[in-house]
Structure formats: structure tokens, C-alpha cells
Structure 1
Amino acid sequence: MIEQQVIIFTDMDGTLLDHNTYSFEAATPVLEKLHAKQIPVLPTTSKTFVELLALRNTLNLTTPFIVENGAAVYIPHGFFKKKPAGTVWQDGYWCKSFTSNKQYWLKLLEKVKAEFSGEFTHFSEMSIEAICDATGLNEADAARAANRQYGEPVLWLGEASRKEAFIKAVKDRGAHPLEGGRFVHICGDCNKGSALRWVVEEYIRQFETPVTSIALGDGKNDIAMLEAADIAVRITSPSHPPPTIQKQEHVYTSTHHGPEGWAEVLNQLLFQ
């Protein structure tokens, strides 16, 4: 059992939510135990602000949340004792942002379209129906997913070898692309790891107490978060291998997929 204050940072799709069905039922008993122990669970995801508003209600979470692969942290009033450093009051939350807005990245994508004509599309060009087809989301959830503030998900349609050339091209123009389970997210120099560190530092500053951070994720866009956390948990996926990380100590890999694996490892770490 960990004696310090624990903060859990969790990816959503493929981690707390099943890769195919988006169900979290298998994780519900552990979520309830964490709530009873006052262990905050912070969604740390590629999802948008509006997606998280709905999802947090479904999950019965009232904690801060990190959106769009670390682009911003939203903190409910009252979670911290004082106004968090460097935040602005936005949409009913204290918001700390780490990158440029979506329009900046849309302009960048326009610059590479001629070179990669027909080889990719992205959310701002896709219909809600097309987003449904690409993600498996229903129309309402797809509309929330399209309502992005900071980055832009790209759906690669071409050959895998050309995908690497595309990633290099956007990197050369200043983007820091992140590969998730389904999309390449075009965004700035932000990631889930930097956002995790900011939250932990702010928590320590405000409460003057040591913190043990646990991060759980299944994709390449979770690597920075897994590396930054005190304890890294790689959730196995039916669609891709666990992310490769440099961290050697305090690394765990689930034997089960998605929410089953999520519950499996947290039970081992915190409740045995």
C-alpha cells in the first residue's frame, strides 16, 4: 500500500474505456474504491473539453481533467485551496493551457496538403458521419469529439511509409505530432507528461504534501505521461502492442485489456 497522497492520471480510449465498446463497467468497483479513499482520478486524454464534460458525469468524476493530449488542464473551483498558478477562468473551470489554438494547426496542415494529396483527412474536413465511421462513436459523441480547441486529429489514408514522411513534414513546420490509437494528433509542444508534472507540482505547492503519481495508458501518445509518473501502468490492447518506454523501475503491464486491465493493476497496487 502506498502511504503518500496518490493521484491517478488515466488515458480514456483503450485504457479506462474499452477500445471497441467504450464501456468502463469492469473498472466501476475500483473507481468506487478510489472515490471512497479520496484518491483523485484525472482523465488525461486526447478527448476534447466538451467530451470530458459528458464523460465525467457518466464516470461520476468531479476531479480536474487534461484534454487534447496535454494541451490544457481544467480544474474545478474548490479542488485546490487557492487559484492555481497561471490559470484563467474559462467555461466554469480554472484553465491552464500549454499550446496554440486549433486554427494555427489547421493553417499548418494546409501547407502540406499538396505534397500529400489524398493521403490524409482530418476532423475539420470530415462530416460527423465520417467521424462516426472512423471512431465508432455515435453522432452526439462524434460532434463533441469534433469540437476541438487546441489540436487537430489526422486520419491517415495512405501507405505506412508515407505516413512517416507526413509526420516529418509537419514536424519540420513546427508541429509536435502525437500518434494515438487511431489518429495522428497535430499539436504544439505539449504532451500528457508535461501536464501531469504541472498538476503534481501545483498539488504539492498548495497542499505541501508528497504525492505519488500513477499513470495508465495504452498508446504512443501516453508515453510522455508514463515516463513522467512515479508509477507507469501499460494497459494491453487488442489492436497494438503496449507503448515502449525508457523508464525501468515501477513499470507494470496489465494482463487484461482496457478497463479489465485498468482495474487489475490498480487493485494490485492500492488495495492488496
Structure 2
Amino acid sequence: MGQQYLIFTDLDGTLLDHNTYSFQPAVEMLAKLKQSNIHVIPNTSKTYAELIFFRQQTKLDTPFIVENGAAVFIPIGFFAEQPPATEVFERFWVKSFSKPRSHWLTLLNTLPTELQQCYLGFSAMNNEQLCNETGLTAPAALNANSRLYSEPLKWLGTDVQKQIFKKHLTDAGAHVLQGGRFLHISGNSDKGNAMVWLTQLMASLDTSTSFSTVALGDSYNDNEMLEVADIAVQIKSHKHDYPALQRKDNIMQSTLYGPSGWTECLQQIIDLP
């Protein structure tokens, strides 16, 4: 049986620099992985629109996971047949794990007024505000706000209010994730579940290959995929310490930041020409 790595990677702060969004230090490694037929699969809080742009920049042609595990997008033709339990959306087969964004916006509007004053959601920001909050250009900020399954929030309240807020939403069926910059409100989905689903699908369609998963991330909303990957890689962050993991084995921590740390660790894991 052949063996193959699957690289599941966060983007912001991991494959993309936290401040500049550049992936330049990883360009050579991305090319080597593609030449070796090792799939790099983005697993990110970013949107479908942002991933379409990112794939054009990097020339990636692999599946990708959006909005913190809310959905898996598989290019039509990537497999011989359409996978079960998927729908067609533009040029992709899609497996959704979350209700649409409109559901979560309606839920947020049912919160007590004092809690609604504790945050500012993407949907309430104009494009200039989004640019200021994210550091993105105007076109990129529009893509960031074209969400299908979730709503990011800038938290304005106290930590105590945040806990009350989380309990309200969790009790109502939402999933609240702390990302590198924002709180993300979506369904009971996460990067780990989506990664496992796609890995199991690929294994079922290629029984002659044994897949090993490597997950790379820098923030708390990456923990779910780091916990279930065969190898967990934590990328050093400018903003916080390495988030604590429950697992104790097969953990690697980069000494460099962002895409430099991403390349540093993959060079140690995978023997490439």
C-alpha cells in the first residue's frame, strides 16, 4: 500500500503572514509539494470568494474547507464521481456542515440588548470599516464579507460578558470560535470534523493508499484539526502563545512566524527532493 501525506493548513497567520497576507516564504515549498503530488488543502475561516482568489494566486487545484469547517468544496472532476451527500455549487461539489449565515444573524438579533451592544459584526460594517479591522484592501474586504455560513464579530465587551454571550448562543445551537482576530459564529461544525470527513472520503475512494494527515495552524480555532491530525504543527504567532492542546504526541512547534514557520516545519516532516 502506498503512503501519501495530506496537508491541511490554516491561512491567516499560518500560510499567510498575519500582517501582510503574503505567502512568499512558502512559494518554493508549495511548488515542491505539488510536484510530489502531495495535496495542500486550505482549512480556514476565510470565505468561498476569498479561497477562489487565493487559489488563483497559488495555483492550487485541491479541495478546500471554508468558514471554520462549515463546508468542504471539491473541484468537480477531482474524483471520478460526485461524492454522496454533496451538492453542486458553481464548479464544485459541496458538503455543508452548517446552516446558512442568515440563520445565525437572526439568532444574534434575539440576544438581550445589552449583549448585542458587546460586538460589531461583519454584516454591520461598511467596507471602509472592514478594511480598517482586517487590514485588507477594499476588494479583499468585500470577499471576506461574502460569507455563506457564518458571521465574524469584533468583540467590544468584557470577558465576563463574552462567557454569557457564548452560553446564550451555544444553548441555541451555535458554535462560537475564537479566531486570531474575531469571534466566529456558525453551526456545530469545526475544522477537525471537516478534515476527517474529507480524509475518510479520499481513503474510501483510493483504498490502495494510506493517507497521513498533517495539520498546520496558529490560533485557537485551529485546535480541533490539530487534535485529530496524525501530525499537529503549531505555527508561532505574534499575537499569543501556542494554544494548549489536549494531545501530547506528534506535535511540532515552529520557531519562525507565518509562512516561514510553515515551510520550516514541513521541511522537517516530509522528505522532498
TM-score, scaled relative to structure 2: 0.96
Q: Which runs of 5+ in 2 are unaligned?
A: none
Deviates more, 1:210-219 or 1:241-250: 241-250
Following TM superposition, where does structure 1 have runs of at least 4 consecutive aligned residues deviating by more than 4 angstroms? none
2:247 matched to which residue of 1? 247
How does 1:202-221 map onto structure 2 within 5 Å?
202-208=201-207, 209-221=209-221
Deviations 1:242-265 (A, max 9, x none): 121111111111011100100000
Are the counterparts in 2 of residues 105 and 152 from structure 1 also a CA contact under 8 Å?
yes
Is residue 176 from structure 1 mapped to residue 175 from structure 2 by the alignment? yes
TM-score, scaled relative to structure 1: 0.97
Number of matched residues? 270
Are the counterparts in 2 of residues 82 and 206 from structure 1 also a CA contact under 8 Å?
no
Are the counterparts in 1 of residues 109 and 116 from structure 2 also a CA contact under 8 Å?
no
Q: Does the C-alpha gap of structure 1 residues 117 and 185 become closer, same or farther in structure 2, counting only changes over 3 Å? A: closer
1:231 matched to which residue of 2? 231
Q: CA deviation at 1:117?
A: 4.2
How does 1:110-259 map onto structure 2 within 5 Å?
110-208=109-207, 209-259=209-259
1:82 matched to which residue of 2? 81
Are the counterparts in 1 of residues 203 and 210 from structure 2 also a CA contact under 8 Å?
yes
Identical aligned residues as a percent: 46
SS of alignment partner, residue 4 of structure 1: strand
2:262 matched to which residue of 1? 262
Q: CA deviation at 1:143?
A: 0.2
Q: CA deviation at 1:115?
A: 2.8
Deviations 1:37-60 (A, max 9, x none): 000000100000011000111111
Are the counterparts in 2 of residues 256 and 264 from structure 1 also a CA contact under 8 Å?
yes
1:43 matched to which residue of 2? 42
C-alpha distance in 1 between matches for 2:119 and 2:269 = 41
Are the counterparts in 2 of residues 16 and 258 from structure 1 also a CA contact under 8 Å?
yes
C-alpha distance in 1 between matches for 2:213 and 2:35 = 18
1:58 matched to which residue of 2? 57
Are the counterparts in 2 of residues 123 and 152 from structure 1 also a CA contact under 8 Å?
yes
CA RMSD of aligned residues (A): 1.1
Q: CA deviation at 1:81?
A: 2.4
